[in-house]
């Protein structure tokens, strides 16, 4: 034990030595960000609460007024959208985009394309579940349905989507077009992999239903991460998983080097004998939270029945209740008290990071996890990201870009240790989130795919049909910023993008993207995307994915130059 502590200290000392940076003066922006809670607690939190109540009850009110949603009602809304797209005059109107206000989406970057000439199509009415088919274990929903709506609608039937991204506010359309990861992605892949059909309105206003094996299979495969640049997604069919009432959660502490952390995390879900499809050896949920360069907790989850959870001796913890400690801090207690197991109501487990927005909530409401605050005001948490975005000045936004890290790096799992070392040197931001996900081999030139020929040299987690990857989520205040040292977020992002290109990883596109278009298409494969954009007439109708997500300015003259003569 003593030797381990000395080793940890040596690692920490060595790391300190590696990064001595000059000091910087504090600024007014430092002060404003540090005391943002003065505005957030009395104004943003109550407004967020009302906003959440509106979102929660809106479908119920809608149902009371308009009756149950149905395929016919869904098609009525879709017809309106088709008409709107058909009315666009390609030579005078801007490029098509959704009418959703940029501040309503959760992505932190500026939606520059929404400042330029554009042709907005409102998808706001597409926010209902269309049907749930228990026999076939399928459901159909509209793209504005949120993750919170999905869990609320399916759990009472004893089902849940195979992958249910964590934050309540994420939309189905957003996670398919933008990201879509959760702690079960090491089995099922990203959210888009659990979808069986997409209904899309194309550039000419036609409606198509794309599946993996029909005439639109190329379109189906190109949609994930395309950010609405191929067509408007108006309906989604996805698979459902029979679930149980509780999640048995095991919290396992890991101390040691980043290499030991990476190894312990991988061992939690990647059997070394490569028996990856054996449910006995692979838990149903996994995540890692790295609290420092020497300490992490790996949590694994297995579904459990009410009877099992309530057996004498078992601990039930309803940690989603407003007065309970935030999840990542509760998990951290394993570092002190050692490994422990508890049973958590399943919906609370799915949305375990919502109340504290992972750990970002602590930066906005620093006393948010104080027991008194939780007890008195915890029910108001979290502040709604959209309201935070709406009320922040451009100066504060820039401050966050320069002094705050918010990026996700997707890397083949066997490169995790190198990635953690890189993150430490470049960001030194803790906690880090580790979430495994399978990339299913497509070999079809999709934007994301496995490393070439990975199957000839498999690592634990890999199978013939999928390679195991990990998302390293870097969100928070970097160590140098905490120590009042010089650190530049833009430079760190550029370093990260270069590292990812060199190591064949991917940057998650909700974040600030600094790379050039040329580099972007070195990171992502343009083969299928470009062919599909051409084939389905998207080129002069929808802005290309790079221009939608990058920091480059999309001025009206630039957009005009993209129009078809
Ligand atoms: C604090 C934070 C936490 C996060 N946590 C998670 C997480 O746990 N899991 C996860 O997977 N991701 C997470 N993300 C990333 C998130 O999934 C992406 O930002 C995703 O794109 C969210 O989309 P949204 O619902 O806000 O939709 P938007 O931002 O509105 O949409 C994303 C993109 O998809 C396009 N789009 C959306 N709907 C349609 C449609 N119907 N038709 C055509 N195009 C469409 C939009 O134009 C846009 O380009 C997180 C992000 C942040 C900032």
User: What's the gap in Å between 174 CA and the centre of ligand 1?
Assistant: 4
pLDDT at 197: 98
- pTM for the predicted model, two decimal places: 0.93
The protein residue with its alpha carbon nearest to ligand 1, atom 29, reads 105
Cβ of 170 less than 6 Å from ligand 1: yes
Kindly state the average pLDDT of the residues 180-195.
98
> Is 125 a residue whose pLDDT tops 80?
yes
Residue 347, helix vs strand vs coil: helix
Domains present along the chain, CATH in parentheses: 69-243+542-561 (3.30.465.10), 244-355 (no CATH), 396-525 (3.30.70)
Span 145-180, pLDDT tens digits: 999 999 999 999 999 999 999 888 899 999 999 999
For the CA of 98, the nearest atom of ligand 1 = 47
Give the separation between CA 376 and CA 41, rounded to whole angstroms: 12
Kindly state the average pLDDT of the residues 425-447.
96
Helix H or strand E segment including 420: helix 416-426
Q: Report whether 211 contacts 140 (CB < 8 A).
A: no
pLDDT at 327: 98
**Closest among 410, 361, 418, 399 to 508, alpha carbons compared:** 410
Cβ of 106 less than 6 Å from ligand 1: yes
Give the Cβ contact number of residue 452 at 10 Å.
9
pLDDT at 503: 97
Cβ of 98 less than 6 Å from ligand 1: yes
Span 470-511, pLDDT tens digits: 999 999 999 999 998 999 999 999 999 999 999 999 999 999
Backbone angles phi, psi at 350, to 5 degrees: -55, -40
Q: Report whether 200 contacts 215 (CB < 8 A).
A: no
Q: Report whether 460 contacts 270 (CB < 8 A).
A: yes
Cβ of 175 less than 6 Å from ligand 1: yes
Planar angle of CA 498, 500, 502, nearest 5 degrees = 70
Q: Which of 77, 107, 225 to mutate to test the pocket of ligand 1 (most atoms within 8 A of CB)?
A: 107
For the CA of 227, the nearest atom of ligand 1 = 49
For the CA of 108, the nearest atom of ligand 1 = 53
Kindly state the average pLDDT of the residues 108-117.
68
> Is 435 a residue whose pLDDT tops 90?
yes
For the CA of 178, the nearest atom of ligand 1 = 21
Kindly state the average pLDDT of the residues 63-77.
89
Q: Which residue stretches of 189-281 are H helix?
A: 217-222, 258-267
> Is 38 a residue whose pLDDT tops 70?
yes
Model confidence band, residue 3 (pLDDT cutoffs 50, 70, 90): very low
Give the separation between CA 425 and CA 212, rounded to whole angstroms: 42
Contacts 24+ apart (CB under 8 A), 522-528: 523/497, 524/225, 524/447, 524/448, 525/445, 525/446, 525/447, 525/448, 525/449, 526/445, 526/447, 527/445, 528/218, 528/221, 528/222, 528/444, 528/445, 528/446, 528/447
Cβ of 167 less than 6 Å from ligand 1: yes
Label the pairing between strands 95-98 and 118-121: parallel
For the CA of 105, the nearest atom of ligand 1 = 26
Q: Which two tokens stand for residue 403?
A: 């002094």
Kindly state the average pLDDT of the residues 308-331.
97
User: What's the gap in Å between 167 CA and the centre of ligand 1?
Assistant: 10
| Range in 29-38, 93-102, 211-220, 273-282 with the lowest mean pLDDT | 29-38
Model confidence band, residue 27 (pLDDT cutoffs 50, 70, 90): confident
- Give, in order, the Cα–Cα distances in Å from 268 to each of 152, 175, 297, 327, 463: 29, 26, 11, 19, 17
User: What's the gap in Å between 229 CA and the centre of ligand 1?
Assistant: 14
Q: Which of 103, 113, 143, 174 to mutate to test the pocket of ligand 1 (most atoms within 8 A of CB)?
A: 174
For the CA of 510, the nearest atom of ligand 1 = 19
Q: Which residue has the higher pLDDT, 16 or 467?
A: 467
The alpha carbon of residue 7 and the mean position of all alpha carbons in its chain are separated, in whole angstroms, by 35
The protein residue with its alpha carbon nearest to ligand 1, atom 44, reads 228
> Is 333 a residue whose pLDDT tops 50?
yes
Give the separation between CA 236 and CA 534, rounded to whole angstroms: 23
pLDDT at 347: 97
Average model confidence (pLDDT) for the chain? 92
pLDDT at 23: 82
Q: Which residue has the higher pLDDT, 158 or 556?
A: 158
pLDDT at 17: 47
For the CA of 508, the nearest atom of ligand 1 = 15
């Amino acid at each position: 034990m003593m030797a381990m502590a000395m080793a940890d200290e040596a690692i920490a000392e060595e790391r300190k030595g590696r990064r001595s940076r000059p000091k910087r003066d504090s600024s007014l922006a430092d002060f404003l960000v540090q005391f943002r809670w003065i505005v957030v607690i009395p104004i943003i939190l109550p407004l967020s609460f009302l906003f959440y109540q509106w979102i929660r009850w809106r479908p119920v009110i809608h149902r009371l007024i308009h009756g149950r949603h149905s395929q016919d009602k869904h098609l009525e809304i879709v017809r309106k959208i088709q008409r709107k797209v058909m009315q666009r005059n390609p030579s005078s109107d801007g490029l098509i985009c959704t009418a959703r206000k940029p501040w309503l989406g959760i992505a932190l970057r500026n939606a520059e394309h929404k400042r330029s000439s554009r042709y907005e199509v409102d998808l706001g009415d597409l926010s209902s579940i269309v049907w749930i088919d228990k026999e076939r274990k399928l459901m159909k929903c509209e793209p504005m349905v949120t993750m919170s709506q999905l869990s609320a609608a399916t759990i009472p039937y004893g089902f849940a989507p195979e992958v249910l991204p964590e934050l309540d506010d994420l939309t189905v359309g957003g996670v398919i077009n933008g990201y879509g990861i959760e702690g079960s992605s090491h089995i099922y892949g990203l959210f888009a992999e659990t979808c069986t059909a997409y209904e899309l309105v194309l550039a000419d206003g036609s409606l198509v239903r794309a599946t993996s094996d029909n005439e639109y299979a190329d379109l189906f495969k190109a949609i994930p991460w395309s950010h609405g640049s191929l067509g408007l997604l108006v309906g989604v069919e996805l698979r459902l998983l029979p679930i149980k009432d509780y999640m048995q959660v095991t919290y396992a502490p890991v101390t040691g080097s980043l290499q030991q952390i990476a190894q312990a995390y991988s061992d939690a879900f990647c059997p070394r004998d490569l028996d990856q499809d054996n449910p006995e050896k692979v838990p149903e949920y996994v995540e890692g939270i790295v609290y420092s360069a020497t300490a992490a907790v790996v949590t694994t989850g297995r579904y459990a029945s009410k009877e099992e959870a309530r057996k004498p001796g078992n601990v039930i913890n309803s940690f989603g209740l407003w007065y309970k400690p935030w999840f990542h801090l509760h998990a951290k207690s394993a570092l002190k008290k050692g490994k422990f197991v508890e049973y958590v109501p399943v919906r609370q487990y799915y949305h375990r990071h919502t109340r504290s927005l992972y750990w970002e909530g602590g930066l906005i409401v620093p006393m948010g996890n104080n027991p008194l605050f939780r007890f008195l005001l915890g029910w108001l948490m979290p502040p709604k990201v959209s309201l935070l975005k709406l009320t922040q000045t451009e100066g504060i936004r820039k401050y966050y870009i320069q002094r705050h890290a918010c990026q996700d790096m997707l890397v083949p799992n066997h490169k995790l240790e190198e990635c953690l070392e890189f993150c430490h040197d470049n960001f030194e931001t803790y906690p880090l989130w580790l979430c495994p996900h399978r990339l299913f081999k497509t070999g079809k030139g999709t934007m994301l795919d496995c490393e070439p020929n990975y199957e000839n040299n498999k690592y634990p987690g890999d199978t013939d049909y999928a390679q195991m990857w990990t998302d390293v989520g870097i969100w928070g205040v970097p160590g140098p910023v905490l120590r009042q040292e010089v650190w530049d977020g833009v430079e760190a992002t550029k370093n990260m993008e270069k590292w990812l290109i060199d190591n064949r990883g991917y940057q998650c596109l909700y974040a600030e993207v600094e790379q050039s278009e040329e580099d972007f298409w070195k990171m992502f494969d343009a083969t299928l995307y470009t062919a599909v954009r051409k084939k389905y007439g998207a080129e002069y109708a929808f802005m290309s994915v790079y221009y939608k997500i990058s920091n480059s300015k999309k001025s009206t003259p630039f957009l005009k130059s993209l129009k078809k003569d």
